Structure 1
Amino acid sequence: MNKARNLAIIFAAAILLGVAFNLFLLPHEILAGGITGIAMIFSLLTPINGGFWLIVLNIPILILGWMKLGKAFIGYSVFSVAVTSIAMLYIPVMKITDDVLLSSVFGGVLVGVAAGVIVRFGGSTGGFDIVGLLLTMKRDLPLGALVFVLNSGVVFISGFIFSWELAMYTMASIYISGLVVDRIHTRHIKLTLMVVTYKGEAVKKELLDNLYRGITVVDGEGAYSAAKLKVLYSVISRYELSYVRPLIKNIDPHAFVSVSETMEVMGNFRRDSNFQKKQIS
């Protein structure tokens, strides 16, 4: 069921990506970033459709992702790239508006939403998304900001080939896309979880069985009741919060749970948990 759900959501997001390219960006020669942007440059300079170039240019990067990120991830990514490419073949390249700035803003938002959703559900749009995800495995960096930096090269290329005015519109579109991606793809955000419960052992066992996270357990005492209780402390990713809530509630619906955003984590914090692998598989 998870695979069918993920594929359906990635399919819809990939179609949205094709809409953003052909109806908002390409008609004004505003480029997307990374490999997709290079494919769009080739499509504008040659009679060959951008969907074809998108597949060809993604092949070596998808092979690298297969080796480093796993078969399921690359399977979703290939599906995403294929659907986007086919959508670009059949969706006509036409202007929704003659306003270039408006097209760059709306195109950037749509690309960011589509790319963020695809990554959130276990795939990627290929190209620099895969490179960015490989880098985020080493350091907890915002994916959107990282891909924005990687994509800057495409802006300079478009400036030399077309015009610097269009290059600035491209930069604006890519920047907006990066902001939207970081609103959706929040794996780099870490949360401090504190659980105060009378069922400490049961809650601890449930969390350890379902999350690959360390937990610190401290003996506590209620200030008014003087009752003995346990305080569980852990750091989790933003993705895991929606998974953790029902786990705790099923064991102790009366537990006091405090969640706060963590600015920085030092020490042994595993960046990819079993939970994330389950979501993809």
Structure 2
Amino acid sequence: MTENAQDALAPPSLAQQARRHPVLAEAYKIVSIAVGAVVFAIGLEGFLIPNDFLDGGIVGVAIIVTRFLDVPMGVFIGVLNVPFVLLAWAKIGHRSAIRTGVGIATLSVATIVLHHMHAITDQSWLALICGGAMIAVGIGVALRHGGALDGTEVLATIVASRTQYTVGQLILGINLAIFTVAGFVISWESALLSAVLFYIVVKDLVDRIAHGESGVHMVRVMTTRYQEVASMISEHIKRPVLVDRHQHWYADGPGEDVWLITFTCSRLEEATLVEDIEALDPAANVTFTEISNLHGPLLESMTNRGH
């Protein structure tokens, strides 16, 4: 019996078994995003806010607004993120929007519930490092499972797909503006330390957990069911894909033909695309390579997406 035949007779892996239960698989993703949101809230309410630090994005805006209005910060987190969830629904897809909505709603409720918790530490640098690490873990877990905990991530992903800027560059600009405002409203010391927190602790850890920071990935799918998979991907990303024919080669000689499909996608699209590909061909191999910059026809194709 050949090695390929033995592989075919091998029992299905846990991942293959999970794909047979899409409801459970989706529930797992939703629960993971919710857990990530709770971890984020603990880092925020247990470490950062009691020590007068802040986060970037919509959460940072909510922290600043609560300095002027006597309303729980969690309320602002939920309300200010609603337009971005709707934007995700229209531009990215309903699954990512639902997951993002669940994550943001959980974060909003968790920050309200934990608002009066005592500071876990009053040591500034310890609070920065521990709080930043928890926030990074929460964001990274959400992104890894196809959701987000902040509307700026959604906005940056959509804008990056239509411009030459990366998600990281756009979020950098947004947060620089927020930290500058915080310098006037709260204190320059807190604003500067919060910026250090974001760019030294949070940013790199989020990137490690969520796999990539540019927001655009080059994707390669190796499959034998290339017609179905290529048509599905092209319909999803609203762009043509590249399809090449290859041949497996083993130690004892040539093997079966296989097709390689190449295309680009945003970070928020990654999880849903993998799910759709695996649904059509559970044996497909999918690899992602981060793209730092885009120029030329490929950039134009992403810019014209949906037109």
**TM-score of the aligned structures, taking structure 1 as reference length:** 0.73
1:180 aligns with 2:200: no
Compared CA separation, residues 188 and 87, structure 1 to 2 (3 A)? same
Q: How far does the alpha carbon of each residue in 1:133-177 deviate from its partner, in whole angstroms, 9 at most, with x for none?
A: 212332586534532331111100111112211111110222232
Query: Which range is displaced more, 55-64 or 151-160?
Result: 55-64
Q: 2:262 aligns with which of 235, 246, 264?
A: 235
One-letter amino acid matched to 2:187: S
| TM-fit CA distance, 1:22 | 0.1
Compared CA separation, residues 221 and 153, structure 1 to 2 (3 A)? closer
Compared CA separation, residues 262 and 54, structure 1 to 2 (3 A)? closer
Q: 2:217 aligns with which of 189, 200, 204?
A: 189
Q: 1:171 aligns with which of 187, 195, 201?
A: 195
User: Match of 2:32?
Assistant: 9
Corresponding pairs, count: 259
Q: Distance in 1 between matches of 2:43 and 2:125?
A: 14
Task: Mark the runs of 5 or more structure 1 residues left unpaired by the alignment.
Answer: 252-256, 272-281
User: Match of 1:122?
Assistant: 146
Query: Which range is displaced more, 5-14 or 122-131?
Result: 122-131
Q: 1:138 aligns with which of 162, 168, 175?
A: 162
Query: Which range is displaced more, 107-116 or 233-242?
Result: 233-242
Query: Which range is displaced more, 2-11 or 55-64?
Result: 55-64
Q: Distance in 2 between matches of 1:258 and 1:124?
A: 22
| TM-fit CA distance, 1:210 | 6.5
Report the identity percentage. Answer: 22
Query: Which range is displaced more, 144-153 or 16-25?
Result: 144-153
| TM-fit CA distance, 1:98 | 2.1
Q: Secondary structure at the match of 1:9?
A: helix
Q: Distance in 1 between matches of 2:124 and 2:231?
A: 52
| Alignment check: 8 A CA contact 2:217 2:288 kept | no
User: Match of 1:150?
Assistant: 174
Compared CA separation, residues 204 and 36, structure 1 to 2 (3 A)? same
Q: Distance in 1 between matches of 2:67 and 2:289?
A: 44
Compared CA separation, residues 163 and 245, structure 1 to 2 (3 A)? same
User: Match of 1:254?
Assistant: none
Compared CA separation, residues 64 and 211, structure 1 to 2 (3 A)? closer
| TM-fit CA distance, 1:48 | 2.1
| Alignment check: 8 A CA contact 1:36 1:127 kept | no
| Alignment check: 8 A CA contact 2:248 2:258 kept | no
| TM-fit CA distance, 1:227 | 4.5
**TM-score of the aligned structures, taking structure 2 as reference length:** 0.68
Compared CA separation, residues 9 and 145, structure 1 to 2 (3 A)? farther
| Alignment check: 8 A CA contact 2:230 2:261 kept | no
User: Match of 2:245?
Assistant: 217
Q: How far does the alpha carbon of each residue in 1:201-240 deviate from its partner, in whole angstroms, 9 at most, with x for none?
A: x46457547754432125x696986758647444356948
| TM-fit CA distance, 1:131 | 1.0
| Alignment check: 8 A CA contact 1:118 1:125 kept | yes
Compared CA separation, residues 267 and 156, structure 1 to 2 (3 A)? same
Q: Considering only aligned residues, what root-mean-square deviation do their CA atoms show, in Å?
A: 3.7
Q: How far does the alpha carbon of each residue in 1:73-124 deviate from its partner, in whole angstroms, 9 at most, with x for none?
A: 3332222222111111111343222221222222222222212222332322
Compared CA separation, residues 39 and 209, structure 1 to 2 (3 A)? same
Q: How far does the alpha carbon of each residue in 1:1-51 deviate from its partner, in whole angstroms, 9 at most, with x for none?
A: 233122111111111111111011101111111211111122244432211
Q: Distance in 2 between matches of 1:6 and 1:139?
A: 30
1:88 aligns with 2:111: yes
Q: Distance in 2 between matches of 1:65 and 1:223?
A: 44
1:159 aligns with 2:183: yes
